[in-house]
Amino acid sequence: MNKKKLRWIYGLGALIVIVLAAFFIIKAVNGHQKSNTSSSSAKIEQTSSKKKTSNSSTSSKKSSQTSSSSSEVSSASSASSTSNSTTNSQSSSTSSVSSSSSSQAQATSSTNQQTSSSAAQSSSSTQPAVGTVTTRPQGAWVTTFEHNLYNGYKVTPKYYKYYGNGLWEVWVNEINTNDYPYVTVNQYTGNFHG
């Protein structure tokens, strides 16, 4: 009788161990699936932020093209008095575009007083062509950015790729991100995000 009870108790104990093991395995698999889902959503967010950045760079290119074409029209129409009113309206829209961009620049410089001197240096120099790859760009902002990147994430830049409008995509030595940059940095403000 005692042997039967012992076998039954051992069998029950083994069953409990199996059930607990299955429970923890299922919990671990669910946690792994959640982490995969969150990493894929992070990649989607990164892709959407790249699209937003490219859309904003495209719109700024269009506005600069519009302002250059309106200045050409204004110089051509100064010779003819019949199209003078059209030129005046175009030049007023050009001045409103330039005044809005100058107000954005003033807002940026007021929020980041430390980087205003580096922004002035960077804006005075000529910008590289979009898609230019370099191991280290020129400017005082690079040292500050690399220092902040290492202090925050313990990574060092491998190379930079110019994206346009003062934005640089940065790949790092410590993490392989394949075709995606690790962070994108704004040379005018020094702000970066990944």
Supply 115's token pair: 């980087």
Reported as a single tens digit per residue, the pLDDT across 70-117 is 444 444 444 444 444 444 444 444 444 444 444 454 544 444 444 444
C-alpha span between 191 and 160 (Å, rounded): 15
Q: How much helix, strand and coil, in percent to the nearest 5, is found in the chain?
A: 65, 10, 25
- Residue 55's pLDDT is 57
Q: What is the pLDDT of residues 118-149, one digit of tens each?
A: 444 444 457 889 988 998 998 889 999 999 99
Q: Which residue has the tokens 């995000």?
A: 193
Tokens coding 91: 């030049």
Specify whether the CB–CB gap between 171 and 159 falls below 8 A.
yes
